[in-house]
Amino acid sequence: MHKIAVAKGDGIGPEIMDAVLTIFNAANVPIQYEIVDMGKWVFDKGYSNGMTAEAQETIETLGILFKGPMETPKGKGVKSINVTARKTWNTYANKRTFQTLHGVDTVFSKAGIPIDITIVRENIEDTYGGIEHMLTHDVALCRRFITKPGSYQVIKYAFEMAKKKGARRITCGHKSNIMKITDGLFLEVFYEVAKEYPELNSDDVIVDDLCMKLVTKPDLFDVVVLTNLQGDIVSDLCAGLVGGLGFAPSANIGDHISIFEAVHGTAPDIMGKNIANPTALLLSGIGMLRHLGLMETAAIIENALLYTLESGIHTGDFGDKSIPSVNTTTFAEAIISNFGKEPANNPKPILENKYVTPTIFKLKSNPMLETKSDLEEVIVGIDFFIESNEQPTEVANKSLKHTMDIVKLVTISNRGTQVWPRGSVFTNLVDQYRCRFESIGDVPLTQVEILELTKGMMKDFKVCSYEMLNMFGGKKAYSLAQGQ
Ligand code: NAD
């Protein structure tokens, strides 16, 4: 008997969770549930991360959390309980499956174009670190971290899953034509991992092109893996292809703890009315059953759900308006009464292990520190981000005073566009420049030499921030300014 933690959540959470657990109980799902205290209501009691210490301990012991939607407390500085949970437990892969469901009308279902897309989104890194600063009154900065081990974990998971699923294609969505270093790293790791799976058809698409192709020819895609922000947007786009967030299950997969939840929120406008649609949470629960290896029970419940949708039974938020809608409880009862029936049109769930979420790939003892490189690493310069509302030539003249025998001022840019030594009068400027100093002939610089330079620049400017310019194995590990 498996034991899992269940958090019913806020808003419609308890209503849809009760409906799903009623269906599970009717199907004799061999799982024991331990209800844990988590959500906005727990936050309101003074628990700043939205869960009690007992809840955290239970989830960490049991390893699986099945959760309803949770309200994000309003107010500056308050982090989302959902995001905190994903990050705290390093659920690095967000997997969402999107399938055509008969009974849920979309332009594609009407056109007879089948959709079966799985989006795997990196769940921890990228701009979601939330590391943001105002550099000047007018200029905000968000740091974007893409790491090799972080990318490896999620991409490896996506390939394992694609292999078990027998995927037709696995595609990396990215923007490495612009973000050559960050997205470039993600793409490089993708093709490194792809070498381990020669039997899979792997390729990549630039994310804007991917969006266009997803809405014109969604049947071209099978498994798509993306970085966090791009994956966030593309997964909601895919939810739209199959009928909206009410039909979008989600699994947050980690090495030790995995979270299964619906993608939609707490729907405060309809809470307490017993009219919410439990389909997304049920689909997430079915994914959880498969994750636990309960293939047959998952198939019985999924078949009954698909049969119910196909027969036209629907809650008020979707379906044929000429057929009266039913409430949450009746919808759940209809599914239970359809146990043992198989849908005619909807894809029949497969009982084989093909769709099992793979055994999680465990990196060795200390995964995030393991990626070591033998490449020589030297500092060859520094980018100063300074506050100034002077003309670029004035900024340059002041900066040039601080050049040393071994260091030269190479370029000054504003919002990433070069404005010195060459620029255009048509470039709009904000009050924050980047002044780049590089060593002459790429001679390695010591941090003490960098400090001397920094002291000099600080005499003339407010330095808001700086970044070292590194060379790894003789290659520049930083991007050029636009026009440099
Ligand atoms: P929402 O998804 O709660 O609601 C958007 C619209 O969709 C509403 O009209 C709602 O009635 C409808 N809707 C959503 N789920 C439905 C369902 N199952 N059946 C029928 N109709 C449904 O989005 P929101 O209003 O932006 O967010 C409300 C709260 O939920 C916020 O506090 C937000 O932070 C939180 N939220 C939580 C999660 C999560 O727990 N993973 C995800 C998104 C939003």
Q: State which of 365, 395, 424 marks the end of a domain.
A: 365
Contacts of 10 (CB under 8 A, 6+ apart): 39, 40, 41, 68, 69, 70, 71, 266
Q: Which residue has the tokens 């980690």?
A: 254
Q: Which residue's CA is the closest to the ligand 1 atom numbered 18? A: 277
pLDDT range class, residue 246, cuts 50, 70, 90: confident
- State how far the Cα of 412 lies from the Cα of 461, in Å rounded to an integer: 14
Does 355 have pLDDT greater than 60? no
For range 385-399, the mean pLDDT: 96
- Residue-wise pLDDT for 133-188, tens only, equals 898 889 999 999 999 989 999 999 999 999 988 999 999 999 999 999 999 999 99
pLDDT at 179: 95
Highest mean pLDDT among 79-88, 96-105, 352-361, 428-437: 428-437
Residue 476 CA, ligand 1 centroid: distance in Å = 45
Q: Which atom of ligand 1 is nearest to the CA of 9?
A: 40
* Domain identity same for 151 and 235: yes
Task: Supply the pLDDT for residue 366.
Answer: 54
Beta strands per DSSP E along 331-376: none
3-state secondary structure of 352: coil
Give Cβ neighbours of residue 134 (< 8 Å, ≥ 6 apart): 140, 141
Domain count for the chain, please give it: 3
Q: Please name which of 24, 26, 38 lies closest in space to residue 259, comparing C-alpha atoms.
A: 38
The answer to whether 139 and 432 have CB atoms below 8 angstroms apart is yes
Q: What is the CATH number of the domain that holds 393?
A: 3.30.70.1570
Tokens 């966030």 correspond to 232
- Strand-strand pairing, 223-226 and 170-174: parallel
Give me the sign of the Cα torsion angle 52, 54, 57, 63. Answer: negative
Mean pLDDT of 344-358: 53
Specify whether 147 is located in the same domain as 227: yes
Backbone angles phi, psi at 454, to 5 degrees: -60, -45
Q: Tell me how far the alpha carbon of residue 17 lies from the centroid of ligand 1, in angstroms.
A: 14
Rg (CA), the chain: 26
SS3 state at 32? strand
What confidence category does residue 92 fall into, taking pLDDT thresholds of 50, 70 and 90?
Answer: very high
pLDDT above 90 covers what percent of the chain?
70
Instruction: Please tell me whether residues 342 and 381 are part of one structural domain.
Output: no
User: When comparing pLDDT for 322 and 18, which is higher?
Assistant: 18
Instruction: Assess contact for 381 and 479: CB atoms under 8 A.
Output: no
71 in contact with ligand 1, CB cutoff 6 A: yes
246 C-alpha to ligand 1 centroid (Å): 9
Closest residue to atom 36 of ligand 1, CA basis: 265
Kindly give the distance from the C-alpha atom of residue 152 to the centroid of ligand 1, in angstroms, as a whole number.
32
pLDDT tens-digit map of 209-227 = 999 999 999 999 999 999 9
Ligand 1 center from residue 265 Cα (angstroms): 3
> What's the CATH code of the domain at 75?
3.40.718.10
The model's pLDDT over 36-89, given as tens digits with 9 standing for 90+, comes to 999 999 999 988 889 999 999 999 999 999 999 999 877 666 778 888 888 888
| Terminal-to-terminal C-alpha distance of the chain | 63
The answer on 403 and 336 residing in a single domain is no
Nearest CA residue ID for atom 12, ligand 1: 267
What pLDDT is stored for residue 480 in this prediction?
84
For ligand 1, mutation pick of 266, 275, 277, 328 (most atoms within 8 Å of CB): 266
Q: Among 81, 260, 264, which is best to mutate for testing ligand 1, by the most ligand atoms less than 8 A from CB?
A: 264
> How far apart, in Å, are the Cα atoms of 210 and each of 38, 215, 216, 226, 399?
37, 9, 10, 11, 43
Q: What are phi and psi of 123, to 5 degrees?
A: -115, 0
Tell which of 219, 253, 287 closes a domain.
253
CA distances from 43 to 40, 178, 334 (A): 5, 41, 36
Q: Which atom of ligand 1 is nearest to the CA of 267?
A: 3
Query: Are residues 114 and 143 located together in one domain of the fold?
Result: yes
State whether the beta carbon of 68 lies less than 6 angstroms from ligand 1.
no
Task: Name the residue at shortest CA distance from atom 5 of ligand 1.
Answer: 267
Residue 371 covered by a domain: no
Tokens of 125: 């890194």
Q: 324, 340, 365: which is the final residue of a domain?
A: 365
Is any atom of ligand 1 closer than 6 Å to the C-beta of 279? Answer: no
pLDDT band at 351 (very low <50, low <70, confident <90, very high): very low
Nearest CA to ligand 1 atom 14: 267
- Confidence label for 304 from pLDDT (cuts 50, 70 and 90): very high
Ligand 1 contacts CB of residue 94 (under 6 A): no
Say whether both 40 and 101 belong to one domain: no
The domain of 205 spans: 93-253
Task: Please list, in sequence order, all residues whose beta carbon lies within 8 angstroms of the beta carbon of residue 404, skipping any fewer than 6 positions away.
Answer: 449, 452, 453
Whether residue 57 is found in the same domain as residue 153 = no
Percent of the chain with pLDDT over 70: 93
321 with 276, same domain: the answer is yes
**Which residues make Cβ contacts (< 8 Å) with residue 235, sequence separation at least 6?**
94, 96, 119, 121, 248, 263
